[in-house]
Amino acid sequence: MTERELMAALQVSASAIQKWIGLGCPYRVVRHRRQFDLAAVQAWRAANITPKPGPELAQGRLREQHIRIEEREFKLAKLKGEYVPRTKVDKYLFESGRQVRDGMLALPDRLSAILTAERDAHRCHEILTREIEDVLGGLSRVDAAWRDGAN
């Protein structure tokens, strides 16, 4: 293969090939011209030429730095107590939902006799509103317990 064919095959410049020849790239002379064996040149290049860092390497390094920064930020947040394990959040959400469900389901049993005896619609509305607010207000007690680390 000629020097031009080698340049095209490896997508390098003539000056790069000249530099490689100076560094020991294998070739043979046939009729006063250099001839190259592509496989031999590729093997020599892999063993002797370090590729220049390209954009892929730079992007990889940037991603790696980003991951290290995120890891440090996570560890710092954990030390500051800003990190909450997912299992704890899941448990909190379950407990909160259960408390609301139980409170709402208990309303008919608690209020049916009271509301049946009440004739004033406005008074019925007040009773229902107060009871619903009490059920939902229970969430703040759950929130305080979780904030204080009870669970």
Let me know whether 94 and 131 are in one domain. yes
Judge if 93 and 131 occupy the same domain: yes
- In this predicted model, what pLDDT tens digit does every residue of 114-148 receive, in sequence order? 998 988 999 999 999 999 998 888 777 766 666 66
With a cut of 60, say whether residue 150 has pLDDT above it.
no
pLDDT of residue 65: 94
Between CA 124 and CA 2 the distance in angstroms is 99
Task: Give the DSSP letter string of 100-131.
Answer: HHHHHHHHHHHHHHHHHH---HHHHHHHHHHH
Greatest C-alpha distance within the chain: 118
Element housing 29 (H / E): strand 28-30
Amino acid at 121: A
Shared domain check, 79 and 27: no
pTM score of the predicted model: 0.42
Residues in the chain, how many?
151
Question: How far apart are the C-alpha atoms of 138 and 59, rounded to whole Å?
Answer: 51
pLDDT of 151 strictly over 70: no
Q: What is the Cα–Cα distance from 57 to 118, expressed in whole angstroms?
A: 77
pLDDT in tens, 89-98: 898 889 888 9
Examine the domain organization and report whether 90 and 79 are in the same domain: no
Given this model, what pLDDT does residue 34 score? 95
Q: What is the percent of the chain where pLDDT is above 70?
A: 91
Tens-digit pLDDT profile for residues 30-89: 999 999 999 999 999 999 987 766 677 778 888 999 999 999 999 998 899 888 888 988
Check residue 149 and give its pLDDT.
Answer: 61
Same domain, 14 and 33: yes
Number of domains in the chain: 3
Q: Which domain holds residue 24?
A: 3-48
Mean pLDDT, rounded, for 8-17 = 93
CB 31 within 8 A of CB 66: no
Same domain? For 33 and 73 the reply is: no
Q: State whether 76 and 116 are in the same domain.
A: no
Do 17 and 41 lie in one domain? The reply is yes
Q: CA–CA distance from 17 to each of 6, 9, 11, 45, 84 (Å)? A: 8, 12, 11, 10, 59
Examine the domain organization and report whether 97 and 127 are in the same domain: yes
Distances (CA, A) of 67 to 20, 78, 80, 84: 38, 16, 20, 20
Q: Residue 96 has what pLDDT?
A: 86
- Quick one: 137 and 92 in the same domain? yes
**Same-domain pairing of 121 and 92:** yes
- Residue at which a domain ends, from 31, 64, 83: 83
Q: Which of 93, 97, 99, 129 is nearest to 111 (CA)?
A: 129
